[in-house]
Amino acid sequence: MTAVVEPGLDENASADLAAASLALARRFAAGATLWCVAPAWEPHAQHVAVEFVHPVVVGTRALPAVALAGPDLVGTARVSARRGDVLLAVAGASDADVRSIMQRAPAWGITTIWVGSGPRPPAGSADHLLWIDEEDPLVPATGRFVLLYHLLWELTHVCFEHPGLLAEEPADCTDEVCVTCSDEGRLAEVISVEPGSARVRTAQGTESIATVLVEPVAVDELLLVHAGMAIGKVEQL
């Protein structure tokens, strides 16, 4: 049998799809909800959500997925996504709302999947990038995006057929206190501010931190936190 390759998809795309599908299946197995955004192409977000929540194949399970829309997409995603959830965006690399959501996602404790085309966003912008390297502005209307997230849906269900794959891989460090890990700054999003301190959201939950080294601090700012103290500000995209 000769494999048919859709224009714009290559062998690297299959590896990206496999990795994203496994990560998504593991998150769903742990109780996650999939949040979908597509600021310039809202039907794509709605289509992704319908694919996952509506099991058209006999024997497959309905998976919680919701399309988000509205004028304040970042704020809507912020209050909707819980730690452990997944957010999938369909957008170009220059979309300001998606760039902001992707940047904040580590502080929210969520996994991110970014579907797009044209120039790629910077490395590390999302946990999983499903990309078509063509600058044709009509790509979003050609069906190639639909192919990508249809394959994501199908491969996620393939992962469910192999329960042994769904267990999360153990973290490299299991000690209660790790000198190496503790040297790293954690991303935090400011929730509220008091003189000399702030309440922030991190991947571990909400916590109070000292802010004397980086004041003034404002709500929604992104900070790097180490040992209960803000040690730097993160320039917002």
Q: 192-219: string of b/e by CB count within 10 Å (b at 16+)?
A: ebeeebbebbbeeeeeebbbeebeebee
In the chain, CATH 3.40.50.10490 covers 11-165
Q: What is the pLDDT of residues 59-71, one digit of tens each?
A: 788 999 999 999 9
* DSSP one-letter code for 165: G
| Contact in structure between 80 and 105 (CB atoms under 8 Å) | no
- For range 37-47, the mean pLDDT: 96
pTM to 2 decimal places:
0.89
Report the pLDDT value the prediction gives residue 98, as an integer from 0 to 100: 98
**Residue-wise DSSP of 124-163:** TSSSEEEEE----TTGGGTTHHHHHHHHHHHHHHHHHT-G
Tokens standing for 57? 């194949």
| Contact in structure between 98 and 114 (CB atoms under 8 Å) | yes
Measured CA distances, 81 to 111, 127, 148 (Å): 10, 16, 23
Report the pLDDT value the prediction gives residue 99, as an integer from 0 to 100: 98
Using pLDDT thresholds of 50, 70 and 90, give the confidence band for residue 19: very high
The matching CATH number, chosen from 3.30.1200.10, 3.40.50.10490, 3.20.20.70, 3.40.50.2300, for 11-165 is: 3.40.50.10490
Q: What is the pLDDT of residues 167-215, one digit of tens each?
A: 877 655 545 544 445 557 899 999 999 999 999 999 999 999 999 999 9
Can you tell me the distance from the alpha carbon of 68 to that of 222, in angstroms, rounded to the nearest whole number?
23
Report the pLDDT value the prediction gives residue 177, as an integer from 0 to 100: 47
Tokens standing for 163? 């329960």
In the chain, CATH 2.30.30.140 covers 179-233
Torsion region of 118: left, alpha or beta (phi above 0 gives left; psi -120 to 50 gives alpha):
left
The matching CATH number, chosen from 1.10.3720.10, 2.30.30.140, 3.30.43.10, 2.102.10.10, for 179-233 is: 2.30.30.140
